């Protein structure tokens, strides 16, 4: 199984799981009421450029499945948070960690998939993140 297929299978499993009632973290997975966020890869395993290329490959396959979407910039969400607006999880954390997301809505379930590279200046490593949530984007 190629690496993109492996990560798509992980995303499919997340899409089918029940969300936890309480927040928690286990290894590379953070979960809370209504969401899961998983680190699929880090730049310890691949170079930062490889992590972004992997994001693009996964995004292309999700575009084929769920329709092509424009990248979702996070600057506006960060500005709204700085102004004191309450942004729900997992979107607030994603805005802190990523500059842009690829976001799709799964029509059958109403859940959202967000895929992004966490590579902001204050982070030690580049990480490929996927979030599955039932909370609409802000």
Distances (CA, A) of 77 to 37, 89, 102, 130: 18, 12, 15, 18
Residue 47 falls inside a structural domain: yes
- pLDDT (tens digit, 9 = 90+) per residue, 66-98? 999 888 999 999 999 999 999 999 999 999 999
Does 59 fall in a domain?
Answer: yes
Is pLDDT at 121 greater than 80 in this prediction?
no
**Structural domains counted in the chain:** 1
DSSP class of 33: T
Which tens digit of pLDDT belongs to each residue from 6-28?
Answer: 999 999 999 999 999 999 999 89
Closest CA to 133 of 111, 106, 102: 111
Owning domain of residue 14 = 3-133
Q: Residue 31 above 80 pLDDT?
A: yes
- 32 domain residue, yes or no: yes
State residue 52's pLDDT score: 93
Question: Length of the chain in residues, anyone?
Answer: 138
pLDDT for res 123: 67
For residue 34, count other CB atoms closer than 10 A to its CB: 16
pLDDT on residue 95: 95
Query: pTM for the whole thing?
Result: 0.93
User: Residue 120 pLDDT more than 80?
Assistant: no
Is residue 138 situated within a structural domain? Answer: no
Residue 90 lies in a domain: yes
103 occurs within a structural domain:
yes
């Amino acid at each position: 199984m190629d690496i993109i297929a492996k990560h798509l299978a992980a995303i499919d499993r997340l899409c089918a799981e029940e969300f936890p009632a309480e927040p928690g973290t286990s290894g590379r997975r953070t979960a809370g009421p209504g969401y899961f966020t998983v680190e699929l890869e880090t730049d310890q395993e691949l170079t930062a450029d490889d992590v972004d290329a992997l994001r693009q490959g996964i995004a292309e396959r999700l575009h084929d499945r769920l329709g092509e979407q424009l990248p979702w910039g996070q600057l506006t969400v960060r500005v709204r948070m700085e102004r004191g607006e309450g942004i729900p999880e997992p979107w607030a954390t994603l805005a802190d960690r990523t500059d842009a997301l690829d976001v799709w809505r799964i029509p059958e379930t109403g859940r959202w998939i967000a895929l992004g590279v966490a590579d902001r200046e204050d982070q030690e490593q580049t990480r490929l993140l996927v979030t599955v949530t039932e909370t609409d984007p802000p």
